[in-house]
Amino acid sequence: MRIQDPRDISTSDKSRISRRAGGTTTMGLHIGSTAPDFEQDSTEGRIRFHEWAGDKWVVLFSHPADYTPVCTTELGLVARLKDKFAQRNAKVIALSVDPVDSHLGWVKDIEDTQGVKMNYPILADGDQKVSKLYDMVHPECDPKITVRSVYFIDPKKKIRATFTYPPSAGRNFDEVLRVLDSLQLTDNHSVATPGNWKDGDDVVIVPSLKDPEVMKQKFPKGWKELRPYLRMTPQPNK
Cα–Cα distance for residue pair 53/55, rounded to 1 Å: 6
The answer to whether 156 and 56 have CB atoms below 8 angstroms apart is no
Cα–Cα distance for residue pair 208/192, rounded to 1 Å: 11
The answer to whether 94 and 63 have CB atoms below 8 angstroms apart is yes
- For residue 6, the tally of other CB atoms under 10 A from its CB is 11
141 is a catalytic site residue: no
Q: Which helix (H) or strand (E) holds 72?
A: helix 69-87
- The residue type of 161 is A
Cα–Cα distance for residue pair 235/10, rounded to 1 Å: 35
The answer to whether 99 and 128 have CB atoms below 8 angstroms apart is no
Cα–Cα distance for residue pair 192/158, rounded to 1 Å: 19
Active-site residue (options: 35, 71, 150, 183): 71
User: % helix / strand / coil in the chain, to the nearest 5?
Assistant: 30, 25, 45
Q: Which helix (H) or strand (E) holds 94?
A: strand 90-96
Q: Enumerate the active-site residues.
A: 71
